[in-house]
Copies of this chain bind each other. A is one copy, B any other.
Amino acid sequence: MSKKQALTEFHRGSILAAAERLFAEKGIDKTTMDDIARESEYSKATLYVYFQSKEEIINAIFLSGLVLLQRKLQEAIDTAANWYEAYEGMCAAVVRYYGERPEACGVLVNGGAGLQEDAHLDQEVRDILRVRRSIGQLLADFLRQGAQEGLIRLDLRAEELVLLFWSALEGIVRMASQRDAYLGQTLEVDRDVFLRHGCQMLLHAITNPAPAEEAAQPE
């Protein structure tokens, strides 16, 4: 019984992985169910055995990605020695996350493919929204913590700052994904370096310009 569930989960996973690859490569809209079927090496009809619709596949990807991201963020916080280290870790998590899932850019921003249309959002969408809220909380708490330690200038409500910070970071990561070539050729900057610079820049955006402690800042 558990074996069956495991198998089902395996197939769902294979399909999602294939879809994710294609979404990353060609974008969600331009990826067809036929594409996913071909890439996952199932028949198109089989896709519909494991998912009710393309929408469900999209949402499942968003959801699992979000859950993973949440875990990574929590881990970064838990394992870090201090606030700055945690900040670094979290940024790294986000960067890696979006690097692998460029199509997910915007989930935090628009809430799972603009689903607000339907008054009665289905369970999956509700889950997405819930996890997103949860991540927002996590980040807000993190910022408050930084503020308490006197590191962060919190002249706005933490929730608002989270949104600002997050969207800015997302913008940067998106740029890094989409203009990889430009970065390398024209700017002669490695993608990873570019992103590290971005995280540093955003750190400046929120840190208290406390002259003395500046030295403590990593790198």
Contact = CB atoms under 8 A, between A and B. Distances in A.
A161 interface: yes
Contacts of A174: 106, 109, 167, 171
Contacts of A204: 153, 204-206, 209
Contact of A179 (B27, B110, B172, B202): B110
A164 interface: yes
A168 B163 contact: no
Contacts of A109: 171, 174-175, 178-179
Contact of A187 (B159, B178, B189, B202): B159
Given A202-B205, A204-B205, A175 B181 contact: no
A13 interface: no
A198 interface: yes
Interface in A164-219: 164-172, 174-176, 178-179, 181-183, 186-187, 189, 194, 197-198, 201-202, 204-206, 209, 211
Contacts of A157: 187, 189
A178 B29 contact: no
B211 A206 contact: no
A199 to B, nearest CB: 10
A116 interface: yes
Contacts of A182: 111
Given A202-B205, A204-B206, A206-B201, A164 B160 contact: no
Interface of A: 27, 29, 106, 109-111, 114, 116, 153, 156-157, 159-161, 163-172, 174-176, 178-179, 181-183, 186-187, 189, 194, 197-198, 201-202, 204-206, 209, 211
Of all A-B residue pairs in the complex, the 8 with the closest CB atoms, nearest first, are A171-B171, A209-B209, A167-B175, A205-B205, A168-B168, A110-B178, A167-B171, A167-B172
Given A111-B182, A157-B187, A205-B205, 8 more contacts: A109-B171, A110-B179, A164-B201, A167-B172, A167-B176, A168-B198, A168-B202, A209-B211
